[in-house]
């Protein structure tokens, strides 16, 4: 909970700085990269979270990894968080920053789950449907899960648009149980 | 039973399935972060309402209690062992509610309105939220109709009116439940045609058992059934083995059911047995939800817990149908300590209390009501005139008796007046003794008290008082039943009635044989 607040604070100040300097696109690209690198390289994350490793060493590792790949502003941001001893939250901060940028640019992240791969036409159709439904730019992340049997499920934040066979079967089960359910209403 | 043919089953299934719409279903979800001890912490569910019902997997439901910055705390009404960390939780978009209606009469249900008596489904058409705001000033009117408990001591000196909240307080084993159950049984008279002719409206009863042994509840139900009181009574039970969330909401369910009668111009009596256990289960929930503990480890809002419940008892204005909801909360004290947190709270909320004492109980004064410290703050307005007339001197006589009682222990050398007061008092105390499950109609109570306060018992030995009373009533019923009828109808003691009473009692005195 506390970590959450801290990451939000760092992310939002970085965001403000980016908007002042008008380099939000560069920074957001940098942080997305940092985020994905941290996700794919678990070792790096562990190194950052390790309290035994000295902060100078951590900073040099970070610089080594991203020196030529990210902008100078990002490097100085990394320096700051290492200096403040918050490098263990780097992944969180990056995630929060991406979230904030998306919100600022009016982009919503939609997680679409399907039983199999989408064809390009389906992909296009679902994107335009979601766009018109949510009235916002959408960024779609696909997930494959064959337990849903068929159809698809789109999740935007806490709201789920469910058109899976699994859910329909569940609804049908409930329909049959009506009157015997635990809560009468 | 006729056999169901397979084609019939498939026809039913087909009909069910054909009516099934398979559109995209939109719902809000959250993820379980933590679960245990009947509570869960859920991440997400951004738009959830306080006290909304939420659905966990395996058809388990919960109710939202805490709304925090990025998580919610909720209680689980069911088997929390089925729920795991990471499970999805769905909103139902409706606040916790229970089905209400006259179909509930004669049934034993749990706080969510589900039958527990094995008599099958309850088909109600209406369902109301469990937590409702109490009515305001404009919708109410002062208590003015009496609600007779059938217990002479209560009806004479601590009268209860319809719409009142009267606390029954005492240690364990002092007969608190007995008083409440007697009150329910006595409402049977309000359901008779005779009562309807006299303009007395029926009172529907709700007995809410919180945190009690199931066997105790079964006993109460059996007793109610035996005395024919179950026909107009609903028993709501959250027994000691039910999870704390159910015990916590049980009284609110009772109030909701009672409000249904009240709002439809009917009268209801609800008994919360007992609120100390409800407070304890609320404390359990609150501590698990990490709300800060206060005095006796109860959370800060434990006063509000009871005040909002008892404030729902009310007498509606005539424009709203004049219905009423009377509440008889029960509180169990520890070693007679009424200055503990919960007892003081509830005493201050209610319109008076019936105080039961274990030393009185052990001395054979049953019901063990301490009439000295029991009060009813509003019921007096509802008392019938006849009773008010005779009860005034009863109160006075008993108060004097209590004052002098200590002297009586020394025994010797008391002046005539003191001796008279003492013997009168002892006879009145004897007169107020009453068996369990034997409510007395108010007109008979009036006659007994009349005989007591007018000195007709002074010559009767104390051990003969009950027999005297019984035989007197039988005698009047035989010789001059019109007196009973007149008091019942006129609800007051006219000079004529008084004279007739005096005459018949004097007549009886001469025939009474002392044992």
Q: Is the pLDDT of residue B13 over 80?
A: no
Backbone angles phi, psi at A50, to 5 degrees: -75, 120
**DSSP category for residue A64:** H
Are the C-beta atoms of B99 and B85 separated by less than 8 Å?
no
* Residue B428 at interface with chain A, using a CB cutoff of 8 Å: no
pLDDT score for B2:
54
The pair of three-digit structure tokens given for residue B301, joined into one six-digit string: 């809002």
Place of tokens 């004290």: B333
- Residue B16 confidence (pLDDT) above 70: no
Hey, which residues does B108 pair with through a beta bridge?
B235
Q: What confidence tens digit (pLDDT) does each residue in B289-304 have?
A: 989 999 999 999 999 9
Q: Which residues of B touch A185 (CB under 8 A)?
A: 94, 97, 99, 127
Whole-angstrom distance, CA of residue B183 vs CA of residue B131: 26
Tokens of B358: 């274990």
Mind listing the pLDDT tens digit for each residue in B90-140? 999 989 999 999 999 999 999 989 899 888 888 899 999 999 999 999 999
CA atoms within 13 A on the CB side of B254: 37
Query: Testing the interface with A: which of B14, B20, B25 to mutate, by most A Cβ within 10 A?
Result: B25
Cβ within 8 Å, pair A182-B114: yes
ipTM beyond 0.95? no
What the block records as the tokens of B226 is 């035996």
Q: How many other CB atoms sit within 10 Å of the CB of residue B313? A: 29
DSSP structural state of residue B91: E
Which positions 155-184 of A are in contact with B (Cβ < 8 Å)? 155, 157-163, 167-168, 171-172, 175-176, 179, 181-184
For B251-274, the pLDDT digits (tens) are 999 999 999 999 999 999 999 999
pLDDT value, residue B220: 95
Q: Which residues of A touch B23 (CB under 8 A)?
A: 163
CB pairs < 8 Å spanning A and B: 65
CB contact under 8 A, B99 and A179: no
Query: What gap in Å lies between CA B493 and CA B106, rounded to an integer?
Result: 38
Q: For the residues B447-455, what does the mean pLDDT come to?
A: 93
Look over chain B and give the mean of its residue pLDDT values, rounded to a whole number.
91
| pLDDT in the model for residue B213 | 95
Q: Which of A68, A95, A77 is nearest to A4 (CA)?
A: A95
DSSP string over B24-36: -EEEEEEEEEEEE
Active site residue B377: yes
pLDDT at B414: 80
Res A148: pLDDT:
86
Q: Please tell me the predicted confidence (pLDDT) of residue B21.
A: 62
Provide the pLDDT confidence category of residue A182 given band limits of 50, 70 and 90. Answer: very low
Contact B127 A167 (CB under 8 A): no
Q: Does B12 touch chain A (CB under 8 A)?
A: no
CB contact under 8 A, A157 and B46: yes
CA distance A130 to B26: 13
Taking CB atoms and an 8 Å cutoff, what residues of chain B touch A163?
22-25
Q: Encode pLDDT of B322-381 as tens digits.
A: 999 999 999 999 999 999 999 999 999 999 999 999 999 999 999 999 988 999 999 888
Q: Residue B69's closest chain A neighbor by CA? A: A1
Instruction: Tell me the average pLDDT across B458-472.
Output: 93
A52 touches chain B (CB under 8 A): no
pLDDT at A39 over 90: no
- pLDDT, residue A183, reads 41
Per-residue pLDDT at B458:
92
Q: Please compute the mean of the pLDDT values over residues A62-69 and round it to a whole number.
A: 85
Residue B412 confidence (pLDDT) above 80: no
What mean pLDDT is predicted for residues B174-202? Answer: 94
Per-residue pLDDT band for B22 (boundaries 50, 70, 90) equals low
| Residue A131 binned pLDDT confidence (cut-offs 50, 70, 90) | confident
Burial classification of residue B215, based on how many CB atoms lie within 10 Å of its CB (0-12 exposed, 13-18 middle, 19 or more buried): exposed
pLDDT class of B234 with cuts at 50, 70, 90? very high
Tell me the H-state helices in B324-434.
341-349, 358-362, 385-408, 416-432
**Tokens encoding B511:** 């025939």
- Helix (H) or strand (E) holding B41, with range, is strand B39-44
The answer to whether B430 and B452 have CB atoms below 8 angstroms apart is: no
H or E element that contains A143 = strand A137-144
pLDDT-based confidence at residue B513 (cuts at 50, 70, 90): confident
Average pLDDT over residues B281-290: 93
Q: Note the pLDDT of residue B469.
A: 94
**Sign of torsion over alpha carbons B245, B91, B135, B301:** positive
- State if pTM tops 0.90: no
């Amino acid at each position: 909970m506390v970590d959450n607040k801290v990451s939000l604070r760092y992310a939002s100040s970085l965001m403000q700085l980016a908007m002042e300097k008008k380099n939000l696109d560069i920074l957001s690209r940098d942080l997305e990269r940092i985020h994905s690198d941290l996700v794919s390289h678990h070792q790096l994350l562990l190194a950052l979270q390790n309290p035994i490793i000295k902060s100078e060493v951590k900073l040099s590792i970070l610089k080594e990894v991203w020196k030529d790949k990210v902008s100078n502003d990002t490097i100085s941001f990394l320096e700051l968080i290492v200096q403040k001893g918050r490098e263990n939250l780097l992944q969180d901060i990056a995630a929060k920053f991406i979230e904030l940028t998306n919100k600022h640019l009016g982009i919503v992240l939609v997680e679409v789950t399907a039983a199999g791969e989408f064809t390009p036409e389906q992909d296009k159709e679902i994107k335009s449907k979601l766009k018109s439904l949510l009235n916002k730019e959408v960024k779609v992340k696909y997930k494959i899960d064959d337990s849903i049997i068929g159809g698809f499920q789109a999740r935007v934040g806490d709201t789920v648009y469910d058109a899976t066979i699994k859910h329909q079967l569940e609804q049908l089960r409930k329909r049959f149980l009506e009157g015997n359910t635990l809560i009468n209403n | 039973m006729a056999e169901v043919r397979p084609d019939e089953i498939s026809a039913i299934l087909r009909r069910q399935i054909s009516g099934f719409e398979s559109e995209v279903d939109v719902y809000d979800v959250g993820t379980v972060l933590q679960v245990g001890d009947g509570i869960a912490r859920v991440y997400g569910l951004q738009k959830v309402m306080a006290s909304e019902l939420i659905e966990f997997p395996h058809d388990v439901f919960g109710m939202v209690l805490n709304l925090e910055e990025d998580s919610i705390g909720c209680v689980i009404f069911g088997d929390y062992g089925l729920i795991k960390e990471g499970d999805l939780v769905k909103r139902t978009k409706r606040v916790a509610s229970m089905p209400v209606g006259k179909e509930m009469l004669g049934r034993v249900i749990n706080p969510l309105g589900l039958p527990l008596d094995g008599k099958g489904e309850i088909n109600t058409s209406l369902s109301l939220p469990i937590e409702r705001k109490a009515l305001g000033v404009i919708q109410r009117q002062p208590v003015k109709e009496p609600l007779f408990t059938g217990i002479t001591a209560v009806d004479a000196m601590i009268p209860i009116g319809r719409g009142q909240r009267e606390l029954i307080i005492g240690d364990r084993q002092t007969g608190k439940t007995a008083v409440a159950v007697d009150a329910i049984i006595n409402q049977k008279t309000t359901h008779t045609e005779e009562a309807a002719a006299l303009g007395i409206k029926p009172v529907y009863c709700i007995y809410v058992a919180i945190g009690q042994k199931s066997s105790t509840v079964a006993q109460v139900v059996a007793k109610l059934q035996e005395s024919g009181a179950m026909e107009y009574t609903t028993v709501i039970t959250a027994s000691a083995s039910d999870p704390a969330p159910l015990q916590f909401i049980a009284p609110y369910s009772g109030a909701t059911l009672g409000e249904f009668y009240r709002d439809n111009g009917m009268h209801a009596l609800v008994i919360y047995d007992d609120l100390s256990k409800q407070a304890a289960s609320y404390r359990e929930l609150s501590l698990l939800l990490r709300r800060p503990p206060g005095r006796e480890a109860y959370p800060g809002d434990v006063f509000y817990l009871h005040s909002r419940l008892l404030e729902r008892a009310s007498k509606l204005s005539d424009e709203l149908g004049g219905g009423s909801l009377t509440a008889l909360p029960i509180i169990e004290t520890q070693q007679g300590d009424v200055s503990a947190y919960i007892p003081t709270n509830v005493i201050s909320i209610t319109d008076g209390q019936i105080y039961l004492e274990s030393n009185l109980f052990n001395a054979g004064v049953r019901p063990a009501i301490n009439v000295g410290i029991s009060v009813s703050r509003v019921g007096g307005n509802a008392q019938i005139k006849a009773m008010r007339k005779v009860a005034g001197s009863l109160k006075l006589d008993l108060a004097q008796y209590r004052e002098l009682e200590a002297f009586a222990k020394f025994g010797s050398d008391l002046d005539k007046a003191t001796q008279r007061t003492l013997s009168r008092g002892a006879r009145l105390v004897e007169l107020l003794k009453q068996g369990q499950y034997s409510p007395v109609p108010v007109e008979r109570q009036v006659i007994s008290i009349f005989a007591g306060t007018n000195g007709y018992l002074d010559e009767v030995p104390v051990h003969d008082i009950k027999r005297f009373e019984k035989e007197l009533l039988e005698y009047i019923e035989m010789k001059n039943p019109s007196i009973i009828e007149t008091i019942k109808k006129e609800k007051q003691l006219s000079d004529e009635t008084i004279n007739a009473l005096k005459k018949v009692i004097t007549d009886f005195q001469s025939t009474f044989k002392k044992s």
